[in-house]
Amino acid sequence: MKKQTLTLLTAAFAVAGLHAADWPQWGGVNSRNMVSPETGLPVEMAPGKKLGPKAAPKIAGRLRPDAQEANTAPGAEDIDISTTKNCLWVAKLGSQTYGTPVVADGKVFVGTNNESPRNPAHIGDRGIVMVFEEKTGKFLYQMVSPKMGTGKVNDWEYLGVCASPTIVGKKGYVPGNRCQIICFDVDGMANGNQGMQDEAAFMASPGPDGKPVEVPPGAQDMDILWVYDMYKELGVFQHNATSGYPLVVGDKVFVATCNGVDWTHTNIPAPNAPSFIMLDANTGELLGEQSAETSARVLHASWSSAIEADVKGQQQIVFAAGDGWIYGLAPETKPNEEGLNLLKEYWRYDANPPEYRKDESGKPRKYAEFDGPSEIISTPVYYDGLVYVPIGQDPEHGEGLGMFSCIDPTKTGDISGKPVWTFKGIERSISTPAIKDGLIYVGDYTGRLFCLDAKTGKEQWKFDTKGHIWGSPLVADGKVYIGNEEGELFILAEGKEMKELGSVEFPSPVMGTPVAANGVLYVTTHTHLYAFKQGAQGVAKN
């Protein structure tokens, strides 16, 4: 009887705690399913009005990061907090933000650029990760990473850091903009400078004479523990940006290298460099890599994020690659003839149907054309024993044919052409699915949100946002949140019946994915990070 009572109490506490949880990585957990247990999230929200130029002082022609006026709550910066609704706080970001925030250890982390510099000593194009206090929106510290210096084909101007960190305990892991994986101390410099002692050199950028100009790190700079440089160590030729969210499994970190094509979009400069690697989470040492054949046939770049799946007791790392294939790998290696430690492969699946690869005469179709093949940028999701993933391309290539696949990861070898089911009603997508109660919610770049049956792929409904979708849907509190390039956030009811509950218009594009953590809904636009909470009245304190 006592044992039964203890079990029931444990279960009750577990359920009670579901409404208040961190969101420490892309997708919340290693399966990457965009579903949150949070409740009480708002439907009605207002992002507020921007202050005029007199109320928002500037540095070098840009909004000063500490710009505040009497009618703003500290932390709101250039937004009049009195004109918001259900808004706890607002934080100013750069001019282009593609990173989706993560929430852990009382902090909010987000990748952006440096067009609203927090430190006047670092002016100009940089990759930035900003860190804020979760309760108040107070700026705590940042990572500053100058440009790669090899041209925009490697490090495109003003993209900044295109992802956000994965937080595990007191360590964070994030891809920088210079083809690097960076591990840092979540507490920042508050507990001293740990690990790497050369942050000044890391942040240095060329001065007028071409020599690096170093700025000593301060309390508002990231405390870097180690850096793994994929460009220098592996010869990776990243295309445009370093992207993808690190996957941490035990003491191992799995990341995409973003190896890709050059400016011609036809030549692969580094076909022998890996597209996917495994690092030691404590030291940054290279432990293993995927076979280079993925890079040898890459269509554009490998920007997706890996997932962990427990497939009937077998641990799998599932990686969707830039060649349009998805791979089921073991977190173990086997040396090849050249002495490289290659990740063992369980299965592989071509997510493009044959007719996207070749036309009726058998001639290869051209990449980036409407009916040509696509890579995978979306993150696959593992749900109820199956893997789900759509194909898509860099949005600069426009709209085009897509396909959504459901895959059985218990199979082995090349399982191309053997999916559980496919859905071709979707066009190109870079949207990661959210799956709950047997229903899949996924967007396509064209701007439509689909609801599909997870077992059959049958379309239940679709909703047209009438704006390109870059981000992914979040399912939480009986609602589906999805943003678009027009700066609109749509809220729909979850379930088999399509019902629009509301919408919010923001002053700049919503390229990331909404995140719910500890009773708060976070929405990132290109320029601001909003923390919405039901009943909040801008009570942030700096």
Cα separation of the two ends of the chain? 51
Three-state DSSP class for residue 464: strand
Neighbouring residues of 339: CB distance < 8 A, sequence distance ≥ 6: none
Q: Which backbone phi and psi does 193 adopt, to 5 degrees? A: -90, 105
Q: What is the pLDDT of residue 34?
A: 96
Q: Which two tokens stand for residue 318?
A: 């599932």
Task: Provide the pairing of β-strand 459-464 with 448-453.
Answer: antiparallel
Task: Provide the pairing of β-strand 180-185 with 223-229.
Answer: antiparallel
Integer Cα distance of 525 and 370 in angstroms? 28
Task: Provide the pairing of β-strand 479-483 with 488-493.
Answer: antiparallel
Q: What is the pLDDT of residue 64?
A: 36
**DSSP 8-state code for residue 6:** H
Q: What is the pLDDT of residue 42?
A: 96
Three-state DSSP class for residue 211: coil
Integer Cα distance of 117 and 144 in angstroms? 10
Integer Cα distance of 99 and 160 in angstroms? 9
CA distances (Å), 23 to each of 105, 107, 323, 448, 476, in order?
10, 10, 30, 26, 13
Q: Which two tokens stand for residue 101?
A: 């925030």
Three-state DSSP class for residue 73: coil
Q: Which helix (H) or strand (E) holds 528?
A: strand 528-532
Burial 35-47 (b: 16+ CB within 10 A, else e): bbebeebbbebeb
Distance of CA 349 to the CA centre of its chain: 23
Q: Which backbone phi and psi does 112 adopt, to 5 degrees? A: -155, -165
Q: What is the pLDDT of residue 538?
A: 67
Q: Which two tokens stand for residue 447?
A: 């701007």
Taking the model in full, what pTM does it have?
Answer: 0.91
Best CA proximity match to 305, nearest among 393, 242, 353: 242
Q: Which two tokens stand for residue 93?
A: 């970001």
Radius of gyration of the chain (CA): 23
Neighbouring residues of 15: CB distance < 8 A, sequence distance ≥ 6: none
Neighbouring residues of 388: CB distance < 8 A, sequence distance ≥ 6: 380, 381, 382, 404, 405, 406, 407, 433, 435, 440, 454
**DSSP 8-state code for residue 395:** G
Are 270 and 295 in contact, with CB atoms under 8 Å apart? yes
Integer Cα distance of 30 and 306 in angstroms? 8
Q: Splitting the chain (542 residues) into consecutive groups of 10 residues, what average pLDDT does each group show?
A: 36 40 96 96 93 50 35 58 93 93 97 93 93 96 91 86 94 95 95 91 87 90 96 92 93 96 92 96 96 93 95 96 97 90 96 95 92 96 97 94 98 97 97 97 98 98 97 97 97 97 96 96 96 80 33
Integer Cα distance of 412 and 348 in angstroms? 8
Best CA proximity match to 318, nearest among 340, 351, 341: 351
Cβ count within 10 A of residue 192: 8
